[in-house]
Every structure is written in C-alpha cells, then in structure tokens.
Amino acid sequence: MILIISDPEDGHVLPVASELNRRGAEYVVFDPAAYPNACSATIESSALGLTASLCVNHRIIDFKDVRGIWYRRPNPFVHRTELLPEEQKWLDDECQHFLRGFWATQRNVRWVSHPDAIRIANSKVHQLALAAELGFTVPRFAITNDVDKAWRFLASCPDGAVVKVLATPSIQFSHKVGTIYTHLLKRDDFYFISSVQHGPTFFQEFIDKTMDVRVTVMGNNLFAVGIDSQNSEQARVDFRRAKIYTLPHKVLTLPQDISTRCIELVSALNLNFGAIDLVVTQDGRYIFLEINPNGQWYWLEEVTGIPLTTTMCDLLAGSHR
C-alpha cells in the first residue's frame, strides 16, 4: 500500500497515480482538507504499543500495510462554517498538532519525504550552510533587516546583487495573488532600501551564468537538465518568469563531484527527494543556489522524456533507493 498525502488534482499526483494504476499497485490519496469533516484518523495505545489508522472515503487504512508515503502538496484543513473564527483557529492548531504526531509515529515506512524533514530543509540558511560544508560553491549572501549592513553588502558586489524570498514566493491579496521572483537590483530599487528594516531581506551576489541546471534527486537516482535561460530576457535572472516549455532543455551528465554532492545533500537533509537549482558560470563552474524539498519535476519529463514518474513510483514501492 502506498499513501499519497496531497491535493488529488495536483499536476504531479495525476501521472504518478496513472503509473501506479498501470502497475496494479494499491494506493490511496489523502488530502488533509478532508480532515476532520470527511475522514477520520485514530491513534490508540495497547499493550503492544501504538496503532494508527486512517479512514478515507469509507476505506480504513491500517498503517501496518503501508510501504511508502509521498508527502506532496496537501491542502489546508477546511473547518465547518458554523464555527467562530476563533474556534476555527483553535481547531486548526489542534489538527496540525495531531497530524504532526500521527506522521511522526510512522517510522517504518519510506517517506518521500517526511514533513518534518521538508520543513527543516526549506530553511534557506540551513541548506546554504550545509551545501557549503559539502563542498558546493555558494554565492555570497546577506540576510538582514539592518539597512547599513544591506548597503555594505550591495557595495561589495561589483557585478550586482539579487534579492530573493526566504520562504513564501507569493502574496495573497483579497483580489489576486502576487508572485515574487528573484530580482536583479537596479539603481531605482535603492530608493526603497530603507524597507529592509521591516523584515529579513535576502540579498545574494549576482552570478553571470550560461545556463540554469535543475537537478532532480529521487533516492540515489539523479537526473540533471540544463535550461537555456540566457536567450530570453524574461528568464535571464529567474527562469520561472518565462513560459518554461518555450525554453530549450537538454539532459546533462554532471561532473562526478557535483553529482555526488547533490545526492549527499539530499541525504544529509533526511530527504528522499530534492529539486536542486544550480547555475553554470561563464568559466564552467557549477554554483549552488538552493534546494526545494518538494519542488516541481513533471515538466522536465514532459520536455525531455527522462523517466521521473517511474522512478518516483519505484521509490515509493521500495524497488530501489
């Protein structure tokens, strides 16, 4: 049995579910948005220890039968509208607390990846420090809300600097969602430098690159794809600004030391999956930017044909690491 914790309409869940169906593999998709109103979760103690069960769509899942769990993109809880906002907030905290404990009891299954590991790995400071320890070249950076220190860092970057988000790449307004991309600072931006005082601001030296590289690690399997972002004005700083399918992609064979470090980084973060962003400099060096412990990957299969869906299913089923 494979448990998929996600929005069932997620663009990555659909191809994986299709492949599992083709294999005749047993799986269940659980969306936490259904909890606690449309499904139930129970942990009970006994003389033999704890037992955990989940009832989804009137089907009881006994975790003794679960071999792999894919923690993909779960939706937030949805509470009953008759509850007061204060009650909904309290209940949301209770649900979060319980499910965190529920997942923590599942130690004998393969997680891709455990939500606690994903949360820790999402820290940009942690992943950059660890990448540097493993031997990656990491751009110089400063994260600060001190305006004077921000000025000093920017002055130390003769080739320019970018500003990036630390955690959430979007802002939800009442009538729209604003996406925040990596931005190359221009002279006009310096008029707003005092806004640094309002919160941690992530500055990084600008890297003049020849291409972006997305490395997908699943267990001990690694797939690298080069993305030609430099012939598009939209994609030059952040390739996510462009229509990704319009950018040329090519499958790469990384230098052995870079491949080894990518797999070591995912393992050191206690993950079984990682989407790593590298760039290649004008003189051919590979520079580490970040790792997304739950990043996008299916577009790479669509564009290049690399077998990411089957590799993910193999990993969940325990066919290989």
167 and 227 inside one domain: no
Residue 247 lies in a domain: yes
Residue 92 lies in a domain: yes
What mean pLDDT do residues 155-174 have? 90
Please give the pLDDT value at position 319: 59
Please give the pLDDT value at position 166: 92
10 and 55 inside one domain: yes
Please give the residue range of the domain that contains residue 40. 2-112
Orientation angle between helical segments 256-268 and 124-133, nearest 10 degrees: 130
Q: Which of 121, 156, 48, 125 lies closest to 271, judged by CA?
A: 121
The first and second tokens of residue 136, run together, are 């990656």
Candidate from 33-42, 101-110, 231-240, 290-299 with smallest mean pLDDT: 231-240
Query: What residues form DSSP beta bridges with 30?
Result: 5
Inter-residue contact 278 to 287 (CB < 8 Å): yes
What is the per-residue pLDDT across 220-243, written as a single tens digit (0 to 9) for each?
999 999 999 998 888 888 888 888
Q: Are strands 273-281 and 209-218 parallel, antiparallel or unpaired?
A: antiparallel
Q: Above 50 in pLDDT, residue 161?
A: yes
Inter-residue contact 39 to 32 (CB < 8 Å): no
What mean pLDDT do residues 79-107 have? 93
Residue 171 lies in a domain: yes
What mean pLDDT do residues 156-178 have? 89
Residue 119 lies in a domain: no
The 10 Å Cβ neighbour count of residue 2 is: 23
53 and 100 inside one domain: yes
183 and 167 inside one domain: yes
The first and second tokens of residue 97, run together, are 């607390």
**CATH number, domain with residue 239:** 3.30.470.20
What is the per-residue pLDDT across 250-301, written as a single tens digit (0 to 9) for each?
999 999 999 999 999 999 999 999 999 999 999 999 999 999 999 999 999 9
Does the pTM surpass 0.75? The reply is: yes
Pick the last residue of a domain from 205, 231, 259. 205
198 and 275 inside one domain: no
Q: Above 60 in pLDDT, residue 320?
A: no
Inter-residue contact 30 to 2 (CB < 8 Å): no
Q: Above 90 in pLDDT, residue 108?
A: no
What mean pLDDT do residues 297-315 have? 97
289 and 189 inside one domain: no
Please count the structural domains in the chain.
3
169 and 196 inside one domain: yes
94 and 154 inside one domain: no
Residue 125 lies in a domain: no
Residue 226 lies in a domain: yes
236 and 182 inside one domain: no
157 and 93 inside one domain: no
Using DSSP's 3-state secondary structure scheme, residue 111 falls into strand
For residue 57, what pLDDT band results from cuts at 50, 70 and 90?
Answer: confident
DSSP state of 255: -
96 CB-near residues (< 8 Å, 6+ apart): 77
For residue 137, what pLDDT band results from cuts at 50, 70 and 90?
Answer: very high
DSSP state of 69: E
The radius of gyration of the chain's CA atoms, rounded to the nearest angstrom, is 22
> What's the rounded Cα separation, in Å, for the pair 272 and 264?
11
CA angle in degrees (0–180, nearest 5) for 87-88-89: 90
Residue 261 lies in a domain: yes
> What's the rounded Cα separation, in Å, for the pair 283 and 46?
63
Residue count (the chain): 321
13 and 108 inside one domain: yes
Inter-residue contact 264 to 276 (CB < 8 Å): no
Inter-residue contact 228 to 247 (CB < 8 Å): yes
Backbone angles phi, psi at 170, to 5 degrees: -155, 155
> What's the rounded Cα separation, in Å, for the pair 95 and 103?
12
Residue 131 lies in a domain: no
> What's the rounded Cα separation, in Å, for the pair 263 and 278?
14
Pick the last residue of a domain from 179, 205, 231. 205
What mean pLDDT do residues 37-60 have? 88
Please give the pLDDT value at position 321: 47
313 and 222 inside one domain: yes
Q: Which of 152, 163, 153 lies closest to 201, judged by CA?
A: 163
The 10 Å Cβ neighbour count of residue 85 is: 8
62 by Cβ neighbours in 10 Å (0-12 / 13-18 / 19+) ranks as exposed
